[in-house]
A and B are shown apart, each in its own frame.
Chain A
Amino acid sequence: MREKQNTLKILLKSGLLSGVIALSVSMIGMVGLFSQRDMIAGVLTLGQLLLFASPAAFAYLEAVKISKDDWRKGLLAGLFIGVLSAIPLIILVIISTLVNLRQYFVSVSDTLIQILTFNQDVFLGSILLILVMAFVGLIAAGMRYMPIKYRHPIFQGLIWTFGVSLFSEVLSERVRSFFGSFITKIMFKSRATQPLFAIVLFVFIAGITYWQQGHKSSIKDFIDNQPPKKKRQYQLIFLGIGILILIILPLILGTYLSEVINNVGLYILMGLGLNIVVGFAGLLDLGYVAFFAIGAYTMAVLTSEGALGISAFSFWAALPFCVAASVSAGILLGIPVLRMRGDYLAIVTLGFGEIIRIMANSDLLKPFIGGAQGILQIPKPSIGNIVLFKPGQLYYVILIGVLIAAYISWRLRDSRLGRQWMAMREDEDVAEAMGINLVNTKLLAFAIGAGFSGLSGAIFASKLTSIFPHSFNLLISINVLSLIIVGGLGSIPGVVVGAAILVGLPELLREFKEYRLLMYGGLLIVMMLAKPEGFWPSTIQKRELHAFQESTSGNDT
């Protein structure tokens, strides 16, 4: 009896929680805005998907907690959660008929109410909403009782179908340029997938996943099982394929996606630099954008054809000066903070970042770097007479920069210096006692990190052809720090993964407009909760975290 009450309480709680989430999603305007955005043309809009996501997720999660044999109870729980989820929304609908909520909450519009009541009157609409939510909860809970053999392919199929539908705009443009408009019309309709194509895609992906389950062995296992000599050959082959893909990537991706990849590339460059400072040497730097700004401004002043530029330098001739300027700035800013530790370092570097931006913005330096008007007419890089003005061409400049930076940090990681950094990260006092010169080691970390960032800034300036102080705000530092931690601190491939997730994804989701940063914030929290060690952690950190988990779980028992 007691247990039953407890279950009921838990269900009540998560049902209402799911309802409140659905309510929030509606009230901040996401449901209303995205009800115009079709996912699968004429069948499902993004707004509906967002609305039903929370009851579905909660019903499934609650059903997982209930024992596997008790399917009646599980389904009932799903139903219950679905009904409960509808209640906050119904309250919203009822209140909105009494008071004009629009004057307080800008997003509670008539459209939203119409969506929630399915264009019916309040009473009928509420009943419909309860029924639909209950149905969603029931289906989601029902998924739990499907054997995993079928459940897994269905999930995969759903993920792919929704993913393709979400990115329809970009994908349809690509498909059109390769296969012509006839095939595009079969697959996509304006910004959504055609229903038929969605079904085909779902069946195809589900089928493939189902078939794969029997053939578990992956490529990695295959290579690992080869004799050493052959293994090396295979590795070389894969490396070659990888490089080939990197080289022809802009041809596959087209202009828009190349632009996205370029932005990701610039962030990878910065991330690699910050990874040395924070990931290897353990110096928390929140003002990393300063070096980016210095690189960019050096490039601008040296090459600009406008009033403020010297314009005697080409892009390539100016590049070493940009890196040198950033490196010296890194050392100069590093000296005062050498004796600070941990979070004191963080706030002081944050201060430096802000100082640089404010100085660039001020009237004091306006005669030299333009103040708020910035510097204009920076030429794009050119090779011989060819000006690299397309994103697909600039891509190669950034690619080379990233490859060099990645190679340097890869070689540094295992070098004497790299091991000194890591010793310092673990414990400064012990490292010093072991004979490590902390001053040199720290300054080298700052200098190299700043150098990468300066390179990135220089390319950035020449890519945009004009720079303004407001491009160098704190958010860039925060973004770079987030991406190296999401990727896995101290891990070089992690930087690439982190940049792709935190820079590439938001770039592709531009149509989400003001909700982009909301989702970015939510994504950061969810990712850190799910994977505190990052998506591609370095081996050392993975080992440490596991050792730590074992020791804590040992304490609990």
Chain B
Amino acid sequence: MRQRFQDIDYLGVVLWLLRTGIIILVIWGSVATIIQNPYSSKTWMDFIVFGVAQGSLYALIAIGYTLVYGVLFMINFAHSEFFMSGIFTATILLANPMKASGFLDSHPFVGLGLITITAIIVSVAIALLTERVAYRPLRKAPRLVPLITAIGASFFWQYFFRGLFGSEVKPFPQIEGLIGKIPFLGTEILINQVVVIVVAIIMLIGLYIFVMKTKIGKSIRAVAEDKDTAALMGIDVDRAISITFAMGAAMAGIAGVLYAMVFRQVHFFMGFIPGIKAFTAAVLGGIGSIPGAAVGGFFLGMFESVGPSLFLQGLGIPAPHQLKDVIAFTMLVLVLIFRPQGILGERLAEKKA
């Protein structure tokens, strides 16, 4: 008997209690909400569509974190600034002047294409510059050192762009043809949300194919596996890493345009919150894995959008939408307790971290 008590892993018990507690709370909250039924089914649909749209933005940004982490094992804190820089520049130099001259209204898709290309170019340029100056010289330094230069680069670019374009919130023009709603499964959804979701899914699939099928993608995966061996096999490691950064930044640039289309404003600090969320999504899905980033992004977006109303409303908590980030992070903790390697991650974390 005594022996059996000693075998009990107290930590396991505590974690088990924690899980059960949270799950009971979630079920209780959901049931109570469903009984009270505060929202119509149309509202729930809006929550879900918004969640998917938000989630696809997170997924696109999370790709950048996950690619860089897969190759360099570093958290690229400056990634949120790659996201911000592209769309901020494109809005000020292109979108608003084009709107003022009427070009954007007469040729909405040409205009949007130009904006996207500019955003991608700027984001990629900033990413390559950052990699060259702040990360490459430190590739062999202790692991926390590039983390600090990444934080430094993040501050630097934020305030660089603030100095360049000013500190006010700038409007992003409305684009003709993307206003309004379309009918979908008995309700209506906003066209720009549909565009966000469709573009994000196409980009994610395209990127996945690129990484899995092309020669460049193969070289990136080889470098992620083992830099020294990859170099011996004739792969230019520096180039592969630069391409990794460029790909991540291009995704962030596109995400920036989509973000601006949905929220219709840009700001020098706009990258911070989506950046943290996207990183959370990347970890949630299993950092280092591209499908993981996508799944994590969609999960996080859904939880944030549906969670407060579903879990918290029923518990009688005032203003539950203030707590959407709490739900997001609690989900993260829960998932990581259950599966320390994330939803789709391999057991690579144990080995490398």
Contact = CB atoms under 8 A, between A and B. Distances in A.
Interface of A: 24, 27-30, 104-107, 278, 284, 335-344, 346-348, 350-352, 354-355, 358-359, 361-364, 366, 439, 474, 478, 481-482, 485-486, 489, 514-515, 517-518, 520-525, 528-529, 532-533, 541, 545, 548, 552
A363 B319 contact: yes
B155 A528 contact: no
A514 B93 contact: no
B69 A343 contact: yes
Contacts of A521: 151-159
A341 B155 contact: no
Given A336-B337, A482-B148, A520 B155 contact: yes
Contacts of B141: 528, 532
Contacts of B133: 525
A151 to B, nearest CB: 26
A163 B190 CA distance: 57
Interface stretch (B28-36, B40-48, B162-170): B162-170
B24 interface: no
Contact of B353 (A342, A439, A482, A541): A342
B329 A354 contact: yes
A485 B330 CA distance: 29
> Which of A104, A337, A541 is most buried by chain B, counting CB atoms within 10 A of its CB?
A104
B111 interface: no
Interface in B153-202: 153-160, 162-167
A134 B142 CA distance: 41
A350 B330 CA distance: 11
The 8 closest A-B pairs by CB, nearest first: A342-B353, A28-B163, A524-B152, A521-B155, A521-B156, A351-B329, A518-B159, A106-B166
Contact of A104 (B92, B330, B333, B350): B92
A361 B322 contact: yes
Nearest to B315: A364
18 contacts: A105-B164, A335-B18, A342-B353, A343-B287, A343-B349, A347-B280, A351-B329, A362-B319, A439-B11, A481-B148, A485-B145, A485-B148, A514-B159, A521-B154, A521-B156, A522-B152, A525-B153, A548-B140
Contacts of B328: 351
B75 A343 contact: yes
Given A362-B319, A524-B149, 19 more contacts: A284-B144, A342-B352, A343-B283, A343-B287, A347-B280, A348-B336, A355-B330, A358-B326, A363-B319, A482-B148, A517-B159, A518-B155, A518-B158, A521-B152, A521-B159, A524-B155, A525-B134, A525-B153, A529-B137
> Which of B133, B155, B159, B325 is most buried by chain A, counting CB atoms within 10 A of its CB?
B155
B106 to A, nearest CB: 22
Interface in B310-333: 317-319, 322-323, 325-326, 328-330, 332-333
A358 B323 contact: yes
Nearest to B320: A364
B164 A335 contact: no
A355 B138 CA distance: 33
Given A355-B330, A359-B326, A346 B75 contact: yes
Contacts of B157: 521
A481 B77 CA distance: 13
B340 interface: yes
> Which of B97, B133, B140, B164 is most buried by chain A, counting CB atoms within 10 A of its CB?
B164
Interface of B: 11, 14-15, 18, 69, 73, 75, 92-93, 97, 133-134, 137-138, 140-142, 144-149, 151-160, 162-167, 276, 279-280, 283, 287, 317-319, 322-323, 325-326, 328-330, 332-333, 336-337, 340, 342, 349-350, 352-353
Given A336-B15, A342-B349, A518-B156, A347 B332 contact: yes
A335 B14 contact: yes
B353 A343 contact: yes
Nearest to B317: A364
A486 B148 contact: yes
Given A347-B283, A354-B329, A485-B148, A341 B350 contact: yes
Contacts of A358: 322-323, 325-326
A336 B280 CA distance: 17
B163 A514 contact: yes
A284 B184 CA distance: 46
Contacts of A351: 280, 328-330, 332-333
A342 to B, nearest CB: 3
> Which of B133, B138, B152 is most buried by chain A, counting CB atoms within 10 A of its CB?
B152
A532 B138 contact: yes
Given A336-B18, A515-B159, A478 B280 contact: no
Given A343-B353, A344-B340, A27 B164 contact: yes
Contact of B15 (A278, A335, A343, A517): A335
A523 B140 contact: no
A524 B155 CA distance: 9
A259 B194 CA distance: 53
A506 B179 CA distance: 46
Contacts of B140: 548, 552
Given A347-B283, A485-B144, A341 B11 contact: no
Given A340-B340, A343-B69, A529-B138, A104 B93 contact: yes
A340 B336 contact: yes
Contacts of B151: 478, 481-482, 521, 524
A433 to B, nearest CB: 15
A486 B152 CA distance: 11
Contacts of A525: 133-134, 149, 152-153, 156
A340 B319 CA distance: 32
A352 B328 CA distance: 11
Contacts of A27: 163-164
A277 to B, nearest CB: 12
Given A358-B325, A478-B151, A363 B144 contact: no
A529 B145 CA distance: 9
A6 to B, nearest CB: 20
Given A482-B151, A486-B148, A364 B323 contact: yes
B277 to A, nearest CB: 10
Given A338-B11, A343-B75, A523-B152, A528 B145 contact: yes
Contacts of B159: 514-515, 517-518, 521
A528 B75 contact: no
B163 A30 contact: yes
A514 B138 CA distance: 28
A215 to B, nearest CB: 37
A478 B167 CA distance: 22
Contacts of B163: 27-30, 107, 514-515, 518
Given A343-B69, A347-B283, A525-B133, A352 B145 contact: no
Given A517-B155, A518-B159, A525-B152, A344 B336 contact: yes
B187 to A, nearest CB: 30
B164 A28 contact: yes
Contacts of A338: 11
Contacts of B352: 342
Nearest to B81: A521
Given A104-B92, A532-B142, A363 B322 contact: yes
B87 to A, nearest CB: 15
A485 B147 CA distance: 10
A548 B157 CA distance: 32
A104 B165 contact: yes
Contacts of B73: 343
A348 B332 contact: yes
Nearest to B75: A343
Given A30-B163, A106-B165, A352 B148 contact: no
A336 B138 contact: no
A548 B164 CA distance: 41
